Amino acid sequence: MTPGQDGGPAADAVSPPTDDQDVPRYWRELGLPGLVDSHVHFLPPRMQEKVWKFFEAGAAHYGTEWPIAYAIPDVDERLAILEKLGVRAFPTLPYPHKPGMAAWLNDWSADFAAAHPRVLQSATFFPEPEAPAYVAEALDRGARVVKVHVQVGDFDPRDPLLDPVWGRLADEGTPVVIHCGSGPRHGRHTGPGPVTEVLGRHPRLQLVIAHLGMPEYRAFLDLAERFERVHLDTTMFATDFTEQLMPFDPADLPRLSDLREKILLGSDFPSIPYPYAHQLAALHRLGLGEQWLRAVLWENGARLFGLEA
């Protein structure tokens, strides 16, 4: 057995999962107690249905088909799939697309988390005068992760209405999963510019840049290197689907390796156009070593969300 570059076992000591049933074998052979997925969505039923209809018309929105692998209406069945995969903790990540939605999404998410122990209670917000109050209420009620979707919400994260919200989240150290990259569809306020200005005002924000910031990978790697609390999640990153649309430059793999403690597993379950196992296999084939995989699949998420093995 040849040592890997990171001092651990050789990259082929553990083989990547071949399908979803093989996923538990994979993380067990890596010596992990399971997976922490920082980017999972569970939404109110009518909202979830609308999201799936949007993705089903993928060719119109993204120029390619987007067949959803887990478009399963039954919530318990979706939860059971994650349990069989060995996903030990995950958020619900609601996101509003207009004013007046965030507060009730936060209430729904709190109730959902209370009913399902593996769920990390999530919250969200929109630039509106009520935002500081309902974000504070969500945090006081136990929210452990916040979701922001700049493209869907079509709002500027630099909006002055959000300054007290960003300030509170920075003070609390609450992880904020933010979709601010311009993929898979460009928005008026996407890209690294706006969020960099937000970080300039609130450098202690614990941001988790969704999708590794695709397609502006390099600029968001810069942010993770520059700001102590900025993380990146792997949602859809390096998969066959994404590489065809927004490929990652292999020249930046050493930077990804160096940022090992700041990379979190993300999947976008259930609205992904391939099996869950493919996301893990895609990360495995990057060749960054088993220590990197252990950090990404469990250790970093467990630390960020305060989990015990």
Q: Structural domain of residue 215, as residue ranges?
A: 21-304
Q: Are 193 and 217 in contact (CB under 8 A)?
A: no
Q: Is residue 190 situated within a structural domain?
A: yes
Q: Is residue 11 situated within a structural domain?
A: no
**pLDDT digits over 244-269, tens only?**
999 999 999 999 999 999 999 999 99
160: CATH? 3.20.20.140
Please give the sequence-ordered ranges of beta strands (E in DSSP) within 142-200, or none if there are none.
Answer: 145-149, 176-179
pLDDT-above-90 percentage for the chain = 90
Cβ-in-10-Å burial (0-12, 13-18, 19+) of 8 comes to middle
Q: Is residue 296 situated within a structural domain?
A: yes
Identify the pLDDT of residue 57.
83
Pair of tokens at residue 124: 């969200």
CB atoms within 10 A of CB 7: 9
Amino acid in the structure at residue 66: W
Identify the pLDDT of residue 9.
40
Residue 8 clears pLDDT 60, i.e. is over it: no
Q: Total structural domains in the chain? A: 1
**Tokens 């958020």 belong to residue:** 91
Q: Is residue 3 situated within a structural domain?
A: no
Residue 11 clears pLDDT 80, i.e. is over it: no
Q: Is residue 125 situated within a structural domain?
A: yes
pLDDT-above-70 percentage for the chain = 95
**pLDDT digits over 275-309, tens only?**
999 999 999 999 999 999 999 999 999 999 999 76
Q: Is residue 8 situated within a structural domain?
A: no
Q: Is residue 4 situated within a structural domain?
A: no
Q: Is residue 72 situated within a structural domain?
A: yes
Residue 10 clears pLDDT 50, i.e. is over it: no
Pair of tokens at residue 151: 């493209």
